[in-house]
Structure 1
Amino acid sequence: MLSEFTIDRRGFGLGVLALSAIGGRAATAAVTDNIPPAIRVLYSKSIVIDALASPDTWNVPYPPLAPLSRAQLDATRASGITAINLTVGKPGSFIETVREIALWTRLVEQHPDYFLLVRKHADIARAKAEKKLGLIFGFQGMQSIGADISLIDTFANLSVKIMQLTYNDRNLLGAGSSLPDTEGLTPLGREAVARMNALGIVVDTGHANMRTVLDTVAASTRPITISHTGARAVFDSQRNQPDEALRAVAQKGGVVGIYLMPFLGHDPVAASKALFIRHLQHAINVCGEDHVGVGSDQSITPVDISPAYMDIVRQTAAARQKAGIGAPGEGDSPIAVPDLNSARRMEIIAAELDRAKVPTRVVEKVIGGNFNRLFKDIWPA
């Protein structure tokens, strides 16, 4: 029932659906059998960064945020991912955002063999060396600061390293993807960008409309990111960015992350691995090999794609549309790419790029090297 759903800007709130540990292991094994040995070696030695993900339930509010299940911890360890941009907080609530930051900080302390909180760039290399998952605190929308730019400093002191200006809707800083391109970054948004630049925080325009992206590129003195999007030239969705926005971010030195979401299109019903690779290669062609990565917008633990799951997807999409935070196409297919529905999805992506004759140096950049460089360029030493 809709009354049981948690509808917020962080996720899709898909209802009471969890993945069993057995199902997770089976899904992972099923899609990682054909990894070439050279890619396994490359993956094992590379810094692997997913620019939007979670070790916990994602797009699904069950199981609850804490404690993490054994299946989720096992998937985290099995993933081979070095670091992720982890969304913290519910935009619109300063107190809830602080509480969630405290919760994740506590979870890191409770699971020191699994997680490392990224406070500086060197912590990413440390996470790789220690075989842990580096958690990079990030925002999706900045309603939690209201009109108080000084709260950017407060959250920076709480280790928030990436701040996304808007969600799909409008806030005091700018216009999200549901707004027309006659709206963009506001004067307050420009102040926020300047403060983030000064503090060494990554400015993220995921979920922004094209005008907000272009305005942010112009306003920022540092490279920015679109942490999770697709290519509108491949599939026409408001959540995908046109080439003009992708190119502008790249020309500023930034990085565009391609997601594993229904907005990639239909092949023929759901987004496919092949369709994801089309978006990724288009972005590389537009932006260049140094400016593209992956921001999956997924839980590390695979989801159980079932009829019950799809019922919840459709109901939740309708509720999000009613709340004014949805996007067209959310309820049409799974909130995942079925043949990349694996804890080892980043390794599978590396293998697919290799099969597409993408040079090894580019594969390594796309699976993490480009975002690693961006973070090094922006974060204080």
Structure 2
Amino acid sequence: MLIDGLQCGHFTRETFEELRRGGVTCVTITAGFWEGTMESLDALARWRELIRENQDLVVLATTAADIERAAASNRTALLIGYQNSNLFEGRIRFVELFAELGVRVVQLTYNNQNELAGSCYETEDSGLARFGREVIDEMNRTGMLVDLSHVGNRSTLEAVKHSKKPVAITHANADSLFAHKRNKTDDVLKALADNGGVIGCATYRNITGDYYCSTPKAWAEMVARTVEIAGIDHVAIGTDRSHNFAKPDYDWMRQGRWTRGIDYGAGSAARPGKVPPADWFKEVGNLNLIPGGLAEVGFSPEEVAKITAGNWLRVYREVFGG
């Protein structure tokens, strides 16, 4: 089995076929970034239609058992996720409603501070707000995984400590291995391990670096060093792969409706637009190169199984049930 903790973009039947060629068991998709409730409902409805139209290749998953059944039927399970909490629009009761509609992963903040917590790009991270604690409690209760990938380090640490269930950093890396505001400090990763959570190691070049993007073995070296920090039970895959994105999509991701100016997100003025994928990850199906890379740097078959699927399945089972 092979589970990817986060991808985004415009998925098509061709994308689903590529996932099947890569032997991908489950992917958390991104249904939104800055959208409010109504737009998020529209996105959710479109995703449900897309899944229904391609049910020979993919299936909507809401439990760990759904993922296992998808694997048994030779299909890829899709978990519905959002990279911001704007879909709730400040209404605590909406957490349960979206959970009942099949949403299983929500990031507390995206690239800006909001009423829940601080973002990784703010000059000062304000920490977890009162409303953020309420939302985490409700997500714990209703079976929704708390994602902390774009959340500031202070807010992440406070969220990890507050949550009664495992949380996730679905798509980031260790800051000590590649320094970037989007990546997480060692103290955060150790706290994540204490919580029982998981970090999905990313392949996105801006937060991974050219060396770790060069070969499956080089990327696996980064994974191995992350395991040294967080432990073998708390490291997995979260590529942050995007599909069929063009400049308007990147502008929306980075600038939303909150600025008239230019924002580079995880990029920079030197690297303003779309960056090339990892050298070894030209096609989605190349995900099947990961087990070999992990074995090449010394992971045992049992450890490879944990990193490629087992750690995510454990967290999903504890959070979603099934």
Structure 2 match to 1:327: 266
Structure 2 match to 1:235: 178
**1: CA distance, partners of 2:105 / 2:34:** 14
Among candidates 116, 132, 135, match of residue 189 of structure 1: 132
Among candidates 151, 157, 161, match of residue 208 of structure 1: 151
3-state SS in 1 of match to 2:203: coil
Q: Say if 2:2 is the partner of 1:48.
A: yes
Q: Compared with structure 1, are the counterparts of its residues 277 and 85 closer, same or farther at alpha carbon in structure 2 (3 Å cutoff)?
A: same
Structure 2 match to 1:271: 213
Question: 5 Å matches for 1:8-19?
Answer: none
1:326-365, CA deviations, whole angstroms, 9 ceiling, x for partnerless residues?
1344537725212222323332111011111111111111
Structure 1 match to 2:57: 114
User: Is the CA contact (8 Å cut-off) linking 2:168 and 2:197 kept in structure 1?
Assistant: yes
**2: CA distance, partners of 1:98 / 1:323:** 28
Aligned-pair identity (%): 27
Q: What letter matches 2:213 in structure 1? A: A
Gaps in structure 2 of 5+ consecutive residues: none
1:112-149, CA deviations, whole angstroms, 9 ceiling, x for partnerless residues?
10111002221011000001110101110101212111
Q: Say if 2:34 is the partner of 1:91.
A: yes
User: Is the CA contact (8 Å cut-off) linking 1:169 and 1:324 kept in structure 2?
Assistant: no
Q: Compared with structure 1, are the counterparts of its residues 171 and 126 closer, same or farther at alpha carbon in structure 2 (3 Å cutoff)?
A: same
Q: CA deviation at 1:324?
A: 4.9
Count of equivalent residues: 313
Q: CA deviation at 1:298?
A: 0.8
Q: Compared with structure 1, are the counterparts of its residues 243 and 181 closer, same or farther at alpha carbon in structure 2 (3 Å cutoff)?
A: farther
3-state SS in 2 of match to 1:340: coil
Q: CA deviation at 1:73?
A: 3.7
Q: What letter matches 1:53 in structure 2? A: Q
Q: CA deviation at 1:48?
A: 1.3
Q: Compared with structure 1, are the counterparts of its residues 316 and 83 closer, same or farther at alpha carbon in structure 2 (3 Å cutoff)?
A: same
Q: TM-score, normalised by structure 2?
A: 0.89
3-state SS in 2 of match to 1:234: coil
Q: Say if 2:90 is the partner of 1:150.
A: no
Aligned-residue CA RMSD in angstroms? 2.5
**2: CA distance, partners of 1:380 / 1:239:** 30
**2: CA distance, partners of 1:281 / 1:338:** 19
Q: What letter matches 2:167 in structure 1? A: I
Larger Rg: 1
Question: 5 Å matches for 1:1-381?
Answer: 47-54=1-8, 58=9, 65=10, 68-69=12-13, 71-262=14-205, 263-267=207-211, 271-273=213-215, 274-299=217-242, 320=255, 322=261, 324=263, 326-329=265-268, 331=272, 334-381=275-322
1:93-130, CA deviations, whole angstroms, 9 ceiling, x for partnerless residues?
21111011111111111111011100222101100000
**1: CA distance, partners of 2:273 / 2:42:** 34
3-state SS in 1 of match to 2:232: coil
